Amino acid sequence: MHEVTVVGAGLVGCLAALAFAERGHKVALYDSRPDLRSEAELKNASLRSINLAVSARGIEALRSVDTKMAERVLADIIPMYGRMIHDLQGEQHPQNYGLWGECINSIDRAQLNRTMLDVIEDNANITFFPEHKLTNVSLSREHKKYQRPTATFETREKEERVVESDYIIGADGAFSKTRDRLQRYVRMNYAQQYIDCVYLELKIPKAEGKDPFSISPNHLHIWPRHQYMLIALANGDGSFTSTLFAPPKLMERVCESKDTFLTFFREQFPDAYALMGEHQIVESYENNPRSPLVSLKCSPYNHKGECLLVGDAAHCMVPFYGQGMNAGFEDIRVLMEILDEKQWNVEEAFNTYTERRHKDLVAIVDLAMRNYVEMSHSVVSLPYLIRKKVDGVLGRVFSSVWVPLYSMVSFRADIPYSEALSRSARQDRIIGNIVNWTSLTGLVGVGALVYFKGRHFFDRVFDRV
């Protein structure tokens, strides 16, 4: 039996704790925040998160740890079978995600996290310590008093607590203290990028009447406006969590005053304005922060068999592919598979994890960044719609060898992210050739028609002269 320290009680940290506990190990789970189930945290939950989309990779990872736990935490998901594009006139245009009726699922981040903490509380192998802020990590017997890795925490009472364990799992998010400390021991390649986009959360309240949903709950709603966009995902009570994404300068300009924000909303998202109502828009404007979006990559993820980074601590991505949580959950499934494969030789397993996982995580971080352009702009462009149609036809006709990129990423947990990206690149070249050939054939046909019709016309003209 191993003693494991998990830093961070977010979604990935909770799953990591449960995974090690299910294998019979003793887990101590630490988080710098108060318990998310406390009354104060419940009040603040709505200000912090974009709704999450859980898809095949996340679901398979949850089930790989504990099928009953997976059923419990996924009880309130809402299936989404495609995008619903809202134009400036308020017209709606559906775009299916999958070829065969597949779906991703909307889920409330805070509720999911609270449910996972409830499951953890029932597990005798896990002890949870909220309000413990990590201040230091000591590895390789650097601390002469201890024979194993140590993590030092500051408690709510400002007391220092040193915890010794067999290894440390860092799941403490994009601004990970574990990662910061780990860089003292490994030559870590690290890249962080703030994208030219901030977000503001809003809300579409539930409808009055028999049906609480004012728009389809089974779609991800998008109001694409090229430089900026609005999205909305359904909640179980009939409301929708909506998020405005825009460049910081534009957001600053439209948020200059309550009136400018309302005017912007009324002109650019007229149907969303009607769904939210002026009071709800003003409340979100006055109370919700304008938050930045960061993307990061790093490598290696570990130091020997003593410390390993997972989730956002290792690979934070922008939310536009809906894969942040799914990739983090998949980290835990892959890690457990490698630990089993290496017969729990932890150092060998951690090294293998870094080598095997890195290319997949780089791929999905890049794909998430690329998908912002697709969601905000491409979804309404004719070339994109033509290529998407060709992609779908080929996927249906040659289903055994051709899978669209979105399907590989969201519905096929058996296809690694890096393989999905490389296969998609090959398929894109084929689609490009088909579209170009079809366009050329069409131009030749039109040219021939014009030539023969024109020649016949001029022959008649000259015959009369």
pLDDT range class, residue 462, cuts 50, 70, 90: very low
The dihedral through the CA atoms of 138, 141, 147, 149 has a sign that is: positive
Going across the sheet that includes 150-155, the strands are: 132-138, 150-155, 160-164
| C-alpha torsion sign, points 388, 389, 395, 396 | positive
Q: Are 208 and 200 in contact (CB under 8 A)?
A: no
What is each CA distance from 78 to 73, 230, 319, in whole angstroms?
12, 19, 18
| CA dihedral (316, 359, 330, 411) positive or negative | positive
CB atoms within 10 A of CB 98: 17
Q: Which residue, among 245, 197, 241, has the nearest Cα to 220 in the 3D structure?
A: 241
Alpha helices in 183-241 (DSSP H): none
* Omega within 30 of 0 (cis) for the link into 224: no
CB environment 40-49: b (16+ within 10 A), e (fewer) = ebeeeeeeeb
Per-residue model confidence as pLDDT tens digits over 434-451: 888 776 565 455 444 444
Give the span between the Cα atoms of 160 and 390, in whole angstroms: 61
Tell me the fold of 193-292. Answer: D-Amino Acid Oxidase; Chain A, domain 2 (3.30.9)
The domain segmentation of the chain, as residue ranges, is: 3-78+106-190+295-372, 193-292, 381-441
Q: What is the pTM of this model?
A: 0.91
CA distances from 349 to 178, 308, 408 (A): 19, 10, 27
DSSP 190: E
- What angle (nearest 5°) sits at the alpha carbon of residue 353, between those of residues 349 and 358? 165
Would you call the peptide bond into 300 cis, given omega within 30 degrees of 0 as the criterion? yes
Average pLDDT of 345-366?
Answer: 98
Between the alpha carbon of residue 69 and those of residues 39, 61, 181, 206, 236, the distances in Å are 24, 11, 33, 29, 20
Residue type, position 295, single letter: S
The yes-or-no verdict on residue 86 having pLDDT over 80 is: yes
Please answer whether residues 65 and 332 qualify as being in contact, where contact means their C-beta atoms are separated by less than 8 angstroms: yes
| pLDDT single digits (tens) 399-426 | 999 999 999 999 999 999 999 999 999 9
* pLDDT on residue 455: 47
Separation of alpha carbons 222 and 359, rounded Å: 30
Rounded Cα gap, residues 141 and 436, in angstroms: 62
Give the pLDDT of residue 38: 83
How many Cβ atoms sit within 10 Å of the Cβ of residue 67?
10
Share of the chain above pLDDT 90, in %: 81
- pLDDT class of 383 with cuts at 50, 70, 90: confident
Judge whether residue 173 has pLDDT over 80.
yes
CA distance to 44, 77, 325, per residue, from 72 (Å): 24, 11, 17
Pairing relation of β-strands 167-170 and 3-7?
Answer: parallel
pLDDT at 239 over 70: yes
Higher pLDDT, 161 or 455: 161
Of 171, 173, 162, the closest CA to residue 136 belongs to: 162
Phi/psi at 200 (5° precision): -135, 125
Is the predicted pLDDT of residue 459 greater than 60, yes or no? no
Mean predicted lDDT score pLDDT of the chain: 91
Max intra-chain CA distance, the chain: 110
pLDDT over threshold 80, residue 144: no
The token pair that represents 44 in the structure block: 């603040």
What pLDDT score does 446 carry?
45
Q: What is the mean pLDDT of residues 254-271?
A: 97
Distance CA 242, CA 201 (A): 6
Which are the contacts of 136, defined by CB distance < 8 A and separation ≥ 6? 151, 152, 181
Provide the b/e sequence for 423-451 (b: ≥16 CB within 10 Å): bbeebeeebeebeeeeeeeeeeeeeeeee
What is 3-78+106-190+295-372's CATH superfamily?
A: FAD/NAD(P)-binding domain (3.50.50.60)
The three-state secondary structure class of 311 is coil
Average of per-residue pLDDT across 353-375: 93
Q: What is the pLDDT of residues 26-50, one digit of tens each?
A: 999 999 999 988 877 776 665 555 6
Tokens representing 365 are 């971080």
Average pLDDT score over residue span 320-337:
97
Paired with 93 in beta bridges are: 85
Summarize the confidence of residues 203-223 as an average pLDDT.
95
Query: Which range, of 41-55, 230-244, 347-361, 389-403, averages the lowest pLDDT?
Result: 41-55
* pLDDT value of position 436: 83
Residue whose pair of structure tokens reads 């406390």 in the numeric block: 38
C-alpha distances in angstroms, 147 versus 139, 142, 163, 166, 167?
9, 9, 12, 9, 12
